[in-house]
Amino acid sequence: MLRIQLLFFAWLALAAAQDISTQEKRLLADNGTLSLQDGRIVGGWETRISYFPHQVSLQKGARHICGATILAPTIVLTAAHCLTSPNEPQLYVIRAGSNQWSSGGSYHRVRRIIRHEQFNLPTPMNNDIGLIQLQEPLTYSDNIKSIPIIAPMDNVPAQAQLFVSGWGSTSAQKMQTASSLHYTAVVQMDRQRCTQNYYSAATVTNTMFCAGSKSGQGDRDSCLGDSGGPLVTPVDGRFKLLGIVSWGLGCASAQFPGVYTYVPAYTNWLAQTVTTLT
């Protein structure tokens, strides 16, 4: 098992083997002033795909339904709950390399979908993770790149700044897809408090984590339409994937922060699943 996991990390490193982009360097350099800006993911800012080239739009029936993350030229990661028709991959496409979910970049059809076999078990929204295999490989560019997953040896401080991006609603009151890519900055929230707050509504398992506004006021969050998308954090000067937008009660609530799938908990599952793709 350990050998499979190590080979998987080596495969991811090879798939994501490119220098950090100029745009990513600029974003990381500027993140200390983000709190001085205003805008509305909820409480976020419009951005360019070149800052988040690992982000893609997952679409069904010619409409954006979820975000997703590029792991390799033919492998995309998203939330299991976004994949409601796993046996009908022909219904899905992704758009990569564009600020707009509805135009630009490149359009790619799906070959195969694999949801975690224990999704929603033993509690609702548990194991909210799934893989998408594309029919043709992506062509990498400044706007289309894979991202590595946080590895066991990576140091992520408790209050590290985390970035979540997507085309989801920019308002907790007005639930509609944003036309342009947005992002916001959040931090991990206290697990015990988050679990207690959600106790009567749902279970926060040990493969999930909560993240929200550093101020604790609930003024920043992912929202409807951001599901399945990436939550990333800088490690040694470049972004790595930490979480998948999964669930929550409402958007931008101080009491109920966003809940994310903890991707490093699934490296064994990912490694084994990737070996089944031909």
Q: What is the pLDDT of residues 182-201, one digit of tens each?
A: 998 899 988 898 899 888 77
- Compute the C-alpha angle 46/47/50, nearest 5°: 165
The domain of 118 spans: 53-146+266-274
Query: Mean pLDDT lowest for which of 67-81, 90-104, 142-156, 205-219?
Result: 205-219
Higher model confidence: residue 4 or residue 96?
96
Tens-digit pLDDT profile for residues 80-94: 999 999 999 999 999
Average pLDDT over residues 26-43: 38
The residues annotated with a catalytic role in the active site are 81, 128, 227
Is 21 a residue whose pLDDT tops 90?
A: no
User: Do 84 and 42 share a structural domain?
Assistant: no
Q: Sort strands 230-235 and 162-166 into parallel, antiparallel or unpaired.
A: antiparallel
Tens-digit pLDDT profile for residues 196-225: 988 877 899 999 999 887 755 544 445 566
Higher model confidence: residue 250 or residue 66?
66
Residue 15 placed within a domain = no
DSSP label of 104: S
From the CA atom positions of the chain, what is the Rg in Å? Answer: 17
User: Do 108 and 38 share a structural domain?
Assistant: no
User: Do 232 and 155 share a structural domain?
Assistant: yes
Average pLDDT over residues 131-151: 97
Please give the share of the chain, as a percent, with pLDDT higher than 70. Answer: 75
Is 268 a residue whose pLDDT tops 80?
A: yes
- The enclosing H or E element of 267 equals helix 267-274
Per-residue burial over 241-254, b = 16 or more CB atoms within 10 Å of its CB, e = otherwise? bbbbbbbbeebbbe
Average pLDDT over residues 57-66: 92
Residue-level pLDDT at 18: 47
Residue 9 placed within a domain = no
Average pLDDT over residues 24-48: 48
Residue-level pLDDT at 277: 85
Residue-level pLDDT at 226: 78
User: Do 103 and 30 share a structural domain?
Assistant: no
Residue 127 placed within a domain = yes
67, 81 in Cβ contact below 8 A? no
User: Do 37 and 118 share a structural domain?
Assistant: no
Higher model confidence: residue 189 or residue 30?
189
Residue-level pLDDT at 148: 97
Strands (E), the chain: 45-46, 55-60, 63-72, 75-78, 92-96, 106-115, 130-134, 162-166, 182-188, 208-212, 230-235, 238-247, 258-262
- Read off the CATH number of the domain in which 259 is found: 2.40.10.10
User: Do 163 and 138 share a structural domain?
Assistant: no
User: Do 93 and 155 share a structural domain?
Assistant: no
Residue 85 placed within a domain = yes
* Domain count for the chain: 2
User: Do 210 and 102 share a structural domain?
Assistant: no
User: Do 220 and 102 share a structural domain?
Assistant: no
Residue-level pLDDT at 219: 44
User: Do 220 and 135 share a structural domain?
Assistant: no
Higher model confidence: residue 165 or residue 168?
165
Instruction: Please state, in angstroms and as integers, the Cα–Cα distance from residue 189 to each residue in 3, 194, 210, 245, following that order.
Output: 33, 7, 5, 15
User: Do 191 and 68 share a structural domain?
Assistant: no
User: Do 157 and 139 share a structural domain?
Assistant: no
Looking at every residue in the chain, the average pLDDT score rounds to 81
Residue 3 placed within a domain = no
Please give the share of the chain, as a percent, with pLDDT higher than 90. Answer: 54
